[in-house]
Amino acid sequence: MSVGTALVIDEMDGAERAAIISLWERCGLTRPWNDPVADVALAERTESAAVLVARREGRIVGAAMTGHDGHRGALYYLGVDPDERRGGVGRALVEAAEAWCRARGAPKLNLLVRNENQAVLAFYKALGYLPTDSISLYRTLDPERAERERAEKAAWAASR
């Protein structure tokens, strides 16, 4: 962890795309059925999403994707370099995502955490995030992709 060096957070430079995705992979955030390259490309194509990057002395130490749908903000892919954890980078990225959404009129921020990730649930609880009484549901709209995702999820689960 870097101590005493300023943390700078701003939006991703396109040249940083591969390094950010690599960071997310090292942090265990990616899954075979969620393509981070496509997710970043979508964020780059729209005004309603951004990839925020935390840097110390020019080195990427964390990154998160945020966006909004006009009603609420969302936070995805919050990852901090393992050598930089417990040094305020994650908190700073959450605050930056909240500010980004607030500036665009989003009154609240939602995020998803996998049930097995108790350490991350504790992190967000410490920041004031509360569980909802909702269950997250989804449907893959492309039938071919839906079949591919089912197979990828089954293979991933069997490998654990």
pLDDT tens-digit map of 61-74: 999 999 998 889 99
pLDDT by residue (tens digit) across 21-34? 999 999 888 887 88
Q: Which domains does the chain have, with CATH numbers?
A: 7-135 (3.40.630.30)
pTM of the predicted model as reported, rounded to 2 decimal places? 0.86
- CA pair distance 31, 153, nearest whole angstrom: 8
Structure-block tokens of residue 51:
């990839």
CA–CA separation, 43 and 77 (whole Å): 12
Residue 53, token pair as written in the block: 């990057």
Listed residue (78, 33, 31, 72) closest to 53, CA to CA: 78
